[in-house]
Chain A
Amino acid sequence: MTDLTRLTAARMAEGLAAGDFTSEALTQAHLDRIERLNPVLNAYLQVDTEGALATARAVDAARAAGESLPRLAGVPVAVKDIACTVGIPTTAGSRMLEGWVPPYDATIVTRLKEARMPILGKTNMDEFAMGSSTEHSAYGPTRNPWDLERIPGGSGGGSSAAVAAYLAPLAIGSDTGGSIRQPAAVTGTVGTKPTYGGVSRYGVIALASSLDQIGPCARTVADAALLHEVVAGHDPMDSTSIDAPVPPVLEASATRDLTGLRVGVVREISGEGFQAGVLARFEEAVEELKALGAEVVEVSCPHFRYAMAAYYLILPSEASSNLARYDAMRYGLRVGPDGVDSPSAEQVMGASRDAGFGDEVKRRIILGTYALSSGYYDAYYGQAQKVRTLIARDFEAAFSQADVLVSPTAPTTAFRIGDQTEDPMTMYLNDIATIPANLAGVPGLSLPVGVADEDGLPVGLQVLAPATEDQRLYAVAAALEERLHTAWGGPVLDRAPTVESQEVPA
């Protein structure tokens, strides 16, 4: 019997519709695999066995009764632990929210439920989405299925590892500076950060409100497009949500020819500081794009070099305010200060925040509090917002010369767990190529373009498009993916060693 977990989500949907197998069997296959491998990978923080199976059975019954069902009905999905789910604890990877069960669903969760997709569980992440490795989770790091001693990227390493290890065909991620795209790149999967406002943020725990965006994680471009369509679209509960039809991403994911398309290679994020094997795969992919009929031009975005500095002012500033609500007064961790008999509310707030937040979170809260202080605001936050405008103008200029832009998604392949935790600056540089899209609100997608010669680990290519033109990402990625799969004889994930074959690190 075929292993159902190895199918694409599109194939699962077809199989369910054709009655080849039931959603219960499909969901159970994933739950079995999670039970077996999650203790090693730590991709899931919560597994909702009963909830997922209940949805699966209901879908099977509805199908048997001849009801018409949404396309992905019965196809299971994993959700990053940053989205609120009624009845399933939601922690954002933090001790602060350990055991907190939301009384409401995030809009995207409601949409998954409306699409009748069984929710397998909640995936691991860097605490409050701050990190590029998932090592900053309060619940331990997630391991990369390609090499258990390596990181799966971050902050959404749980979702990317789950998808790469066939613990879920699809997963929801969130991307503030690369948290969907960089994990996709280092795990050999596909991930999209839609246009800012393209997917509702309501009920998704905020890191930096003006940068956060929710998106799909998948093993193929078409699968990502399927999930994108389910969660995207206007939501009156999110004021920043775009009130316009969802870009035709699914249609675009059938593209096989790029004749006439202008592809811009961004000089500033495609060379210096990037690992040799990453650059080699990237350059080959650009050649493939030419072979698909695209016209490749080099573009320059001179202000991208300030993106990192601006990002690390805007993000901490907004985060310092967004995370102020975790004060032990209404929900979450509450501890009293040591040696104080009847502590004041202020003392409880202080002690709880000290105990509940990890070092990286504290680092950014302190940074943001400082950057917003009177006397420093103009020099830091104000200046960073100006850089943001300049970066948006760089994009505008670049998009006048090219329909899409491309770069390597991350400067390196997956690094070893523990290698960068002592050096925040090195860690921050993992997002150097992904951050500009968040600052400008434009959409980006990462797809695998092979493995690096030096370490055999996957390399991602990033496609960027103008705001609300998300379908262009899928057109370019789908055509390139098809060509690469044909050349390789299958997806890059086929080259990953099985988790079972690897020695479990101590």
Chain B
Amino acid sequence: MSTRTRTAETVVPFEEVMRRFDPVMGLEVHVELNTATKMFCGCATEFGAEPNTQVCPVCLGLPGALPVVNHAAVESAIRIGLALNCEIASWCRFARKNYFYPDMPKNFQTSQYDEPIAFGGYLDVEHDDGAGGTEVFRVGIERAHMEEDTGKSLHVGGSTGRIHGADYSLVDYNRAGIPLIEIVTTPLTGAGERAPEIAKAYVSALRDLLKALGVSDVRMEQGSMRCDANVSLRAKVSDDPASVEQAAVPLGTRTETKNVNSLRSVERAVRYEITRHAAVLDSGSPITQETRHWHEDTGVTTSGRPKSDADDYRYFPEPDLVPVAPTREDVERLRATLPEPPQERRKRLQADWGYSDLEMRDVVNAGALEVIEDTVAAGATPAAARKWWTGELARRANSEGVEVTAMGVTPAHVAELDGLVRDGRLNDSMARQVLEGVLAGEGGPAEVADARGLELVQDDGALEAAVDKVIAAHPDVADKIRDGKVQAAGALIGQVMKEMRGQADAAKARALILERLGVS
């Protein structure tokens, strides 16, 4: 019997696990499509509407109501399949997945079972090779299939927010019938110790791809993209996780961790499950095949309901729908609408922006490609855009545990800030202070600079006076510079900036010092 306690379980340190075990993952990603209407009825799909206002007889499962397939959703599904290098079924059906749950109006989910619309593809995912370079890991895509979302239950009362122990539950059927695509990977072997980061890199790459396709809002925090992570361990028999000997070892029992709803959590949840599995196996117990719940706050998973191959959903072909049979021409027409593949796009942008491989990798790892593209489009230099998004802003995002794009600073803000620096109105440290203000919600960069009185002194007379004063006060340093030790100018620049209370352009100060000392 499973327990529902939140007590952290014993874990084995990750590095130690990796000495003895080989992790295998399977990732299932549910993506809500951004079609105007639901999968099988004409109801709107807008996020955040008043509960139960976007419903009709069909998505409420009223007696007599019948589904009709949303063709826009089928087209999105095909485009996703094509972008994931899948084969597209020339004929496939929907099936009913039967089980009782209050948030499922018909007590069956209309889904696809053994006839998915897309199958047999892959997605190449770039990740850090740990030695300063980039490696490509090919994630096999077993299938991508269409289905409808369920309603959303809100369990009121009790301590866990789950149905058990709740006083009562409310159900919002606005979400019932929203088109979903479920993308299922093959069992991912050969990742070794990189498994957690590859999991994250895959979900990130998938998110970029879906965004580029324009088929979904892919907002993990709103649940329009949700990830379930299957993890199992098997004995490690080779130092090469991709070796033939390692591949021959049978897979261990897996757990399926649900609700992994941020990129960061994907990596953390996979890592946690790996370390937990190892502890269970070390204790001599078998792994229980079950669903587990990820807790973002505590960083652990807890036992959900036992899951076994005996789970019987009594699938059968949905008799109320006719088969979906896209023609060759339909598929080719949709193929022609695919956007530039993300990897090619990355190559193009790297060339356009003049980034080194290392710089580009940092950008990709920080998930900042889109935002830099938007920032450059808003007028910033590529170098400045990179500096801000992978530097100061990435640091802040990381320490706060949020996505870099979720902090309230927009590409337009960064471009404006860069403009102020390039116009000589702000220096670096002032720009950072301005950014503080923008992050604190004080307004746009120009507004913050004005409000905080941050502006470089443009009066050359004051700067010249300060330079002369500093040179006079540090004759020893001045001599060194005259002798050609130009790097010693840094100490004098610091003093000049102090004199100017920071409101000076450091480059200008340096030029003036060198000029005065006759070395320019």
Among A90, A106, A203, A324, contact of B107 (Cβ-Cβ < 8 Å): A324
- A237 and B68 CA atoms in complex are apart in Å by 6
- The A-contacting residues of B in range 99-148, CB under 8 angstroms, are 100, 102, 105-108
* A369 close to B69 (CB less than 8 A): no
Tally of A-B Cβ pairs under 8 angstroms = 103
A349 within 8 A of partner (CB): yes
- Is the CB of A210 closer than 8 A to any CB of chain B? yes
Distance of A324 Cα from B63 Cα, bound (Å):
11
Decide yes or no whether B458 CB sits under 8 A from chain A.
no
Q: What distance in Å separates the Cβ of A251 from its nearest Cβ neighbour in chain B?
A: 29
Residue of A whose beta carbon sits closest to that of B107: A324
A204-B63 Cα distance, complex, nearest whole Å = 7
Residue pair B316, A238 in contact (C-beta under 8 Å) = no
Per-residue contact bits, chain A 484-505, to B (CB 8 Å; 1 contact, 0 not): 0000000000000000000000
CB within 8 A of B316: which of A84, A202, A377? A377
Residue picked from B63, B169, B312, most chain A C-beta under 10 Å: B63
Q: Does B36 have its Cβ within 8 Å of any Cβ on chain A?
A: no
Secondary structure of the B contact surface, majority rule? loop
Partner of A373, one of B57, B169, B312: B312
Given that A239-B320, A372-B98 are contacting pairs, would A330 and B60 also be in contact in the complex, using a CB cutoff of 8 Å? yes
Given contacts A106-B64, A237-B68, A372-B98, contact A321 B316 (CB under 8 A): yes
Please report the C-alpha to C-alpha distance between residue A103 and residue B100 in the assembled complex, in whole angstroms: 24
The 8 Å CB contact of A318, one of B100, B319, B321, B322, is: B319
Chain B residues with CB under 8 A of A321:
96, 98, 108, 314, 316
The answer to whether B64 and A238 touch across the interface, beta carbons within 8 angstroms, is: no
Question: Nearest chain B CB to A493's CB is how many angstroms away?
Answer: 32
> What distance in Å separates the Cβ of A62 from its nearest Cβ neighbour in chain B?
30
Type the 1/0 row for B234-248, where 1 means its CB is closer than 8 Å to any CB of A. 000000000000000
Q: Are B316 and A372 in contact (CB under 8 A)?
A: yes
CB-defined contacts of A61 to chain B, threshold 8 Å: none
Cβ-closest chain A residue relative to B106 = A325
Which chain B positions have C-beta within 8 A of A239?
66-69, 320-322
Contacts A239-B69, A349-B100 given: A206-B64 contact, CB under 8 Å? yes
Inter-subunit contact A97/B63 (CB<8 Å)? yes
B65 CB-CB contact with A under 8 Å: yes
Interface 1/0s, chain A 376-390, versus B by CB < 8 A?
A: 010001000000000
- CB–CB B107/A103 < 8 A: no
Interface centre among B62, B98, B169 (most CB of A within 10 A): B62
CB B451 to nearest CB in A, in angstroms, measures 55
Look across to chain B and name the residue whose beta carbon is closest to the beta carbon of A385.
Answer: B317
B172 → chain A, closest Cβ, in Å? Answer: 12
In this complex, how many residues of chain B approach chain A with their Cβ under 8 Å: the count is: 31
A233 to chain B, nearest CB (A): 16
CB distance A325 to B321 under 8 Å?
Answer: no
Q: A303–B507 Cα gap in the complex (Å)?
A: 95
Q: Is B443 located at the chain interface by the 8 A CB criterion?
A: no
Does any Cβ of A come within 8 Å of B424's Cβ? Answer: no
**CB-CB < 8 A to B163: which residues of A?**
345
- Interface: A291 (CB within 8 A): no
Q: Are A209 and B61 in contact (CB under 8 A)?
A: no
**Interface assignment of A309: CB less than 8 Å from any CB of chain B:** no
B504-515 to A contact mask, C-beta < 8 Å, 1/0: 000000000000
Given contacts A239-B68, A321-B314, A372-B316, contact A103 B62 (CB under 8 A): yes
A363 CB to nearest chain B CB (Å) = 17
Q: Provide the A352-388 mask, 1 if CB < 8 A to any CB of B, else 0.
A: 0000000000000000010011100100010000000
A143 within 8 A of B: no
Q: Does A346 have its Cβ within 8 Å of any Cβ on chain B? A: yes
Give the distance in Å from the alpha carbon of A377 to the alpha carbon of B320 in the complex: 19
Given known A205-B64, A372-B314, A372-B316, contact A240–B100 (CB-CB < 8 A) = no
User: Given A240-B320, A321-B98 in contact, is the A345-B169 Cβ separation under 8 Å?
Assistant: yes
Determine the distance from Cα of A345 to Cα of B171 in the docked complex, in whole angstroms. Answer: 12
Report the separation of the CA atoms of residues A97 and B63 in the bound assembly, to the nearest whole angstrom.
9
The reply on A21 being an interface residue by CB < 8 A is: no
B residues 444-480 near A (Cβ < 8 Å) are none
Give the nearest-CB partner of B322 in chain A. Answer: A239
Q: Could you tell me which residues of chain B, from 36 to 72, have a CB within 8 Å of some CB in chain A?
A: 57, 60-69
Name the CB-closest residue of A to B60.
Answer: A330
Question: Which residue of the partner chain A has the closest CB to B314?
Answer: A372
Please tell me if the beta carbons of A327 and B66 are within 8 angstroms of each other in the complex.
Answer: no
B107 close to A327 (CB less than 8 A): yes
A165 to chain B, nearest CB (A): 27
Q: Is the CB of A324 within 8 A of B106?
A: yes
**A329 to B, closest residue via Cβ:** B102
Q: Please tell me if the beta carbons of A104 and B63 are within 8 angstroms of each other in the complex.
A: no
A462 at the interface (CB under 8 A from B): no
A156 to B445 CA separation, bound complex (whole angstroms): 75
Q: Which residues of A contact B64 (CB under 8 A)?
A: 83-84, 102, 106, 201-206
Q: Roughly how many angstroms separate A214 CA and B250 CA in the complex, as a whole number?
A: 55
| Residues B314 and A103 in contact, CB atoms below 8 Å apart | no
Q: Nearest-CB distance from A369 to chain B (Å)?
A: 7
Point out the residues of chain A lying under 8 angstroms from B60, CB to CB. 330
Q: How far is the CA of A106 from the CA of B57 in the complex (A)?
A: 11
- Give the distance in Å from the alpha carbon of A329 to the alpha carbon of B173 in the complex: 12
Contact indicator per residue, chain A 195-211, by CB within 8 Å of chain B (1) or not (0): 00000011111101110
CB nearest to B97 among chain A residues: A321
* Cβ of B53 to closest chain A Cβ, rounded Å: 14
CB distance from A195 to the nearest CB of B (A): 15
Q: Is the CB of A205 within 8 A of B63?
A: yes
A317 interface contact, C-beta 8 A: yes
In the bound assembly, the distance between CA atoms of A349 and B100 in angstroms comes to 9
B98 contacts across to A, CB distance below 8 A: 320-321, 324, 372
Given contacts A210-B319, A324-B107, A324-B108, contact A345 B102 (CB under 8 A): yes
Cβ of A205: which chain B residues have Cβ within 8 Å of it?
A: 63-64
Write out the residue numbers on chain B whose beta carbons fall within 8 Å of the beta carbon of A104: 57, 62, 65
Tell me if A236 is interfacial: C-beta within 8 Å of chain B: yes
B320 — which chain A residues lie within 8 A by C-beta? 206, 209, 239-240
Those of A328-349 within 8 Å (CB) of chain B: 329-331, 345-346, 349
Question: Which residue of A317, A326, A345 has the most chain B CB atoms within 10 A of its CB atom?
Answer: A345
B316 to chain A: closest CB distance in Å? 6
B65 near A203 with CB under 8 A, answer: yes
Please determine whether A238 and B66 come into contact, CB atoms closer than 8 angstroms.
Answer: yes
Say yes or no: is A45 at the interface (Cβ < 8 Å to chain B). no
Q: Which of A106, A203, A325 contacts B61 (CB 8 A)?
A: A325
User: In this assembly, does A92 line the interface, its C-beta being within 8 Å of a C-beta of chain B?
Assistant: yes
Bound Cα distance A320, B99 (Å): 11
Interface string of B409-452 (1 = CB under 8 A from A): 00000000000000000000000000000000000000000000
Residues of B within 8 A of A97 (CB): 63
Contact check: which of B100, B312, B315 meets A327 at CB < 8 Å?
B100
Q: Which of A90, A237, A325 contacts B105 (CB 8 A)?
A: A325
B107 touches A84 (CB 8 A): no
- A97 closest partner in B (C-beta): B63
CA distance A330 to B63 in the complex (A): 11
Which A residues contact B (CB, under 8 angstroms)?
83-84, 90, 92, 97, 100, 102-104, 106, 201-206, 208-210, 236-240, 317-318, 320-321, 324-327, 329-331, 345-346, 349, 369, 372-374, 377, 381
- 13 A–B contacts, CB within 8 A, in A order: A206-B64, A209-B320, A239-B321, A240-B319, A318-B319, A320-B98, A324-B100, A324-B107, A325-B106, A325-B107, A327-B102, A349-B100, A372-B314
Q: What residues of chain B have their CB less than 8 Å away from a CB belonging to chain A?
A: 57, 60-69, 96, 98, 100, 102, 105-108, 163, 169, 171, 310, 312, 314-316, 319-322
- Since A97-B63, A330-B61 are in contact, a sample of 13 more A-B pairs with Cβ atoms closer than 8 Å, ordered by chain A residue number, is A83-B64, A92-B63, A106-B64, A201-B64, A206-B64, A237-B68, A239-B322, A318-B319, A321-B108, A325-B61, A325-B105, A374-B310, A377-B316
